[in-house]
Structure 1
Amino acid sequence: MIADFLKTTALAAGLLWLSIPSAAAGPHIDALKQRGVLKCGTSEGTPGITMPDREGKWTGIYADLCRAIAAAVLGDASRVDFVPTTTVTRFTALQSGEIDVLSRTATVTLTREAQLGLRFAPIWFYDGQAIIVARKLGVTSAKQLSGATICVQQGSTSELNLSEYFRTNGMTFSPVTVATLDAVEDAFFSGRCDAYSNDSTPLIGMRLKAERPDDYVLLPERLSKEPTALAIRKGDEQFYDVVRWAVFALMEAEEMGVTSANAAELAAKGPPSVKRLLGSEPGLGKALGLDERWVARMIAAVGNYGEIFQRNLGKGSRIGLERGQNDLWTRGGQIYALPLR
């Protein structure tokens, strides 16, 4: 009787296993593959984030993330159509389907995710809002700016953050709200406002555009937390899974020591966890409805998270940032990939 029970249980388990469908591409990925190009919404041009170089090639940490997703899904990192958006048009462009992903410094907030129909990928870059002023003003702290006129970009969280910061400190300011990035930077450089507030990294990049960058200084205060991430529309969980785990794979590759230079060798001779990541041992690709080499293609195209950061924002770049919060958790940062297994 026990033997009959065990046979029945084994048969039921086998039928259950056969009944579980393998992952298949969702409607968005099917449409992407049919179109053959990923439409990636970018900024208007922010050094180190998303910006075309002199040859028109888009560069930056978010441009490289788009290339990685194209490599994973379409098999070719060059199959990206970069679509500039402003802080006013970016979410509408995503909601309407004009773009597939929004890949620029969009801060993850409750209201954006709950009310705008968005899904944010894992945090790609941690920043904070800052204020820049002309050095000739002699200002060394944001707390010296009561009564100042401050430029902010329309549609960003900067004005609300400024208002809360100034109210908290018993200060006042007059906002100068401008629609586009070029216009707000021109307003600041022309002296239309005393200061300009944005995330600190775009401000560093803007400072480099000045004829004499040393004439401008970032004040030390950080007015807010600005965790930024790539966003997609709600409605296709399979596409969201691919985007989410693509981000984690690039982070995990850095933690495992997998780089664009050694990935091919490690795929053949690395430990089991690395072989699984790179597709030499199957499983991860099938779970997402992709082929098993999806991570290997991303690494070959853009490198791991650390390579992307250093190339675009790190000490060897024009921006020259320390890793800080954007370092691996093993080195005191907040970059932490969930287990790829």
Structure 2
Amino acid sequence: MRVTRARVWAGIMLAAATMVAACGDRGRDGGDGETAAPETVTEAPAFASPTLRAIRQRGRLNCGVHEGLIGFAYTDNRGAWRGFDVDFCRALAASVLGNADAVRFVPLTTSQRFEALRSGRVDVLWRTTSWTLSREAQEGVRFAGVNYYDGQGFLVRKALDLASATELNGARICVQRASTSELNVADWFRARGIEYQPVVSANEEAAREAYAREDCDAFSADVSALASARTLLPNPDQHVILPDVISKEPLGPVVKRGDEAWTSIVRWTLNAVILAEELGVTRENVGQMAEDSTDPRVRRLLGEEGELGPMLGLSKTWARNAIQAEGNYGEIFARNVGADSGLDLTRGLNAQWNAQPGGLIYALPIR
């Protein structure tokens, strides 16, 4: 049989058409004979906080604080709460309720603090609490940020004439029970093969009192706590904090696990106060800055542009309210623990990232 050129071309075209159709089918059904589902878009869940709703219903923020730590949380001669952590509680109350006085301070011991969060007794814990993996994994809490970078040290009597903690071989060390301080001391001495005798007390106050009675040679706690403790001793000038810092202690606000929106509200209020210092916004000039500043970062922060507050379920002036209530981060630091306070602690790691010398304080972008 004679095959014509026309019939050859017809065969080639038919084969090509069949291959194209097969490829098209594979593209539609994934090659297994099943038709692929159409692409869908999943919307983000609504931003809603049960904790914020409860706070607004009761008309106040319940803030867990230290029972009494000079510089951080304590009551003055008139019974009013003062301190670094206290001011952050007030700033948060101003942010979510528009009123810095709409806050109830709940003094908590170390052993009470996480249970108070889990049970709903407090909405936020601002109590010189170190952010660690085990606490987030086991205590049912979430850390919303860091407002103070600390480290553990040693308070000793000047009469001992010590230059370093490495000279504390065989010494008695006062420390608080069931705390990161107790664990850090054990790790530090063990790593260096130095013998020591722990003198364990129920809380920080008891450890300080044991040191004052000379039941131990050194008192170990966060450096900020040691500076506070020294001011309460009969003769503060007779005691010195050694230069050794044996741990990292990032202190910050803690909330109950399970309310992501509330975690964000606490986190961004803290960052707003930090950013205010970076941008030169103070308690005194915040109103004028809102009116006159042409810096878009300032205008967003103070609610003059954008809808950032409503994104969090707050007012447009949420950050402005917090700054107007207690000032920026630098102002809160200076009057409570810094140059304007009895503790007179240097900014150190708690300086802004762009200061000279720079520190670790760094606001997340508010935009």
Mark yes or no: TM-score above 0.5.
Answer: yes
How far is 1:122 from its partner?
1.4
The code of the aligned residue for 1:235 comes to G
Q: Select 2:91's aligned residue among 68, 76, 101.
A: 68
Q: Does 1:318 align with 2:342?
A: yes
State the secondary structure of the residue aligned to 1:39.
strand
The code of the aligned residue for 2:150 comes to D
Q: Deviations over 1:261-291 (max 9, x none)?
A: 1110111111222121111223111110111
Structure 2 spans left out of the alignment, 5+ residues? 1-40
Instruction: Summarize the alignment of residues 20-169 of structure 1 with structure 2, pairs less than 5 Å apart.
Output: 25-169=48-192
Contact between 1:87 and 1:154, CA under 8 Å: does it hold in 2?
no
Q: Does 1:334 align with 2:339?
A: no
How far is 1:20 from its partner?
7.6
Q: TM-score, normalised by structure 2?
A: 0.85
- Aligned residue number for residue 37 of structure 2: none
How far is 1:179 from its partner?
1.2
- Aligned residue number for residue 245 of structure 1: 268
Q: Select 1:195's aligned residue among 191, 207, 218.
A: 218
Contact between 2:60 and 2:104, CA under 8 Å: does it hold in 1?
yes
State the secondary structure of the residue aligned to 2:174.
strand
Structure-2 separation of matches of 1:165 and 1:98: 36
Moved more, 282-291 or 179-188: 179-188
Moved more, 304-313 or 45-54: 45-54
- Aligned residue number for residue 3 of structure 1: none
How far is 1:182 from its partner?
2.2
- Aligned residue number for residue 304 of structure 1: 328
Q: Does 1:177 align with 2:203?
A: no
Q: Select 2:313's aligned residue among 273, 285, 289.
A: 289
Q: Select 2:278's aligned residue among 252, 255, 262.
A: 255
Instruction: Summarize the alignment of residues 228-239 of structure 1 with structure 2, pairs less than 5 Å apart.
Output: 228-239=251-262
Contact between 2:175 and 2:204, CA under 8 Å: does it hold in 1?
no
Decide which structure has the larger Cα Rg and report it. Answer: 2
Q: CA RMSD in A?
A: 1.5
Structure-1 separation of matches of 2:70 and 2:194: 32
State the secondary structure of the residue aligned to 1:328.
coil
Percent of aligned pairs with the same amino acid: 48
Structure-1 separation of matches of 2:335 and 2:50: 34
Q: Following superposition, which runs of at least 4 residues in structure 1 exceed 3 angstroms of deviation?
A: none
Structure-2 separation of matches of 1:324 and 1:218: 15
Number of aligned residues: 323
Q: Deviations over 1:189-225 (max 9, x none)?
A: 0111111100001101110111210111111100111
Structure 1 spans left out of the alignment, 5+ residues? 1-15
Q: TM-score, normalised by structure 1?
A: 0.91
- Aligned residue number for residue 277 of structure 1: 301
Structure-1 separation of matches of 2:308 and 2:80: 31
